[in-house]
Structure 1
Amino acid sequence: MRHGEPKLAGRLLGHTDCAVLPAGIAACRAAAAGVKVDRVVTSDLRRAADCGVAIATDLSVPLHVDARWRELDFGQWDGLATADVDAAALGRFWDDPDAAPPPAGERWSALLARVAGALDAIDGPTLVVSHAGAIRAALVAACGFDRRQGWAFDLPYGSVLSLRLWRGDAPAAQITGLRA
């Protein structure tokens, strides 16, 4: 699940730890109502963690905080509106986030590696409350998509993407639903 709408929506939030709007928490709670999971795992950033706490409470399941589910670190761009970032540099980043990461920021491959590790740690039915970039990295890791395919998914705030994962030598996953 992508976290609810944050107070600083429309910015490159990355590791910026801003609060989520009450309506964002309510939207996540509504989207998770009736979901059958054994636990909730959440990023340690407030915009995801606050949603995760509310959902775990509603579902009466344990909550685990895992910083590997954090958003990509946008470095010097973190917290800025895209209009406040050099357009050419931003374009290079969107085109190839490994070759042109944000200044002092994280490369796509680093995000992919940490999210793949977090995915490997999941055992049993789990709801993960995270961020759009981390969810896209999970799709790439689990489904074998290339980066562009992962970024093609529209992930609105509070949306739920269902994956069924099979363990083995090669990544295997089935996308079973996306709902907002």
Structure 2
Amino acid sequence: MSGFTLHLMRHGAPQRPGLLLGHRDEPALPSETAKCVARAEGLAFDSVVSSDLGRTLDPARQVAAARDVAHRVDADWRELDFGAWTGLAAAEVDPAAYARFWDDPDAHAPPGGETWSALKTRVALALGRIEGDTLVVTHAGAMRAALSVLFHMEHRQVWAFDLPYASVLTLRVWPDEAAQITGLIA
């Protein structure tokens, strides 16, 4: 059984932090992109994957160029789609609706947005396309979905993880006999 190392990196702080950006293509601050590039320096990987949004795409391209490794864009690594809440600060969302979402993100997805299960399905598909030791530059929601898929954790468990901007989770992943992905924190 052969496994691979998976580094999940959260993008740097966007120009307007604190908003529910979701699928909005809001760039990261240049200094925050530089933080991501610096964080990648000590990591071992053969390729880079990122979502198609600029806040992940820019650091991923820079890291791949600096390392002279392939970079692949995979939109399945996007953040949760917050629908009508996109671009709002949490304080601008109806508090009762926001609480229902955090309590049960499948039954109470943002209006016009994506359920937690849909995000997990996207990320599971993206995980299945990883080949070899890889750095994935992505979003906090997608990182939590990956943990949920890999470790069969509930949303409350993975949302308890603090994932600051430019943070990295390093995992050792082994595909099992059923072609599902299982993981172990390295």
Question: Paired residues, what number?
Answer: 176
Within the candidate set 65, 69, 78, 1:70 is matched to: 78
Aligned counterpart, 2:48: 40
Once the two structures are TM-superposed, the CA of residue 34 in structure 1 deviates from its matched residue by 2.9
Aligned counterpart, 2:5: none
What is the SS of the residue equivalent to 1:114?
Answer: helix
Once the two structures are TM-superposed, the CA of residue 103 in structure 1 deviates from its matched residue by 0.3
Aligned counterpart, 1:174: 184
Q: Whole-Å Cα distance in 2 between the matches of residues 72 and 45 of structure 1?
A: 12
TM-score under structure 1 length normalisation: 0.95
Which deviates the most, 112-121 or 28-37? 28-37
What is the SS of the residue equivalent to 1:4?
Answer: coil
Within the candidate set 121, 128, 133, 2:129 is matched to: 121
Amino acid at match of 2:185: I
Aligned counterpart, 1:138: 146
What is the SS of the residue equivalent to 2:15?
Answer: coil
Within the candidate set 126, 138, 157, 2:165 is matched to: 157
Higher relative contact order (CA 8 A, sep 6+): 2
Once the two structures are TM-superposed, the CA of residue 150 in structure 1 deviates from its matched residue by 1.2
What is the SS of the residue equivalent to 1:25?
Answer: helix
Q: Is the 8 A contact 1:144 1:171 kept in 2?
A: no
Q: Whole-Å Cα distance in 2 between the matches of residues 155 and 53 of structure 1?
A: 22
Q: Whole-Å Cα distance in 2 between the matches of residues 145 and 109 of structure 1?
A: 12
Q: Whole-Å Cα distance in 2 between the matches of residues 153 and 53 of structure 1?
A: 27
Matched, 1:23 2:40: no
What is the SS of the residue equivalent to 1:5?
Answer: coil
Amino acid at match of 1:93: F
Q: Is the 8 A contact 2:105 2:115 kept in 1?
A: yes
Q: Whole-Å Cα distance in 1 between the matches of residues 34 and 116 of structure 2?
A: 31
Which deviates the most, 137-146 or 161-170? 161-170
Once the two structures are TM-superposed, the CA of residue 172 in structure 1 deviates from its matched residue by 2.0
Matched, 1:7 2:31: no
What is the SS of the residue equivalent to 2:10?
Answer: coil
Once the two structures are TM-superposed, the CA of residue 174 in structure 1 deviates from its matched residue by 1.0
Within the candidate set 101, 115, 120, 2:109 is matched to: 101
Within the candidate set 67, 81, 87, 2:89 is matched to: 81
Within the candidate set 54, 63, 85, 1:55 is matched to: 63
Q: Whole-Å Cα distance in 2 between the matches of residues 171 and 146 of structure 1?
A: 16
User: Any gaps of 5 or more consecutive residues in structure 2?
Assistant: 1-8
Which deviates the most, 26-35 or 38-47? 26-35
Q: Whole-Å Cα distance in 1 between the matches of residues 145 and 119 of structure 2?
A: 7
Once the two structures are TM-superposed, the CA of residue 92 in structure 1 deviates from its matched residue by 0.4
- When the two chains are superposed, the root-mean-square deviation of aligned CA atoms in Å is 0.9
What is the SS of the residue equivalent to 1:163?
Answer: strand
Once the two structures are TM-superposed, the CA of residue 171 in structure 1 deviates from its matched residue by 4.0
Q: Whole-Å Cα distance in 2 between the matches of residues 59 and 92 of structure 1?
A: 44
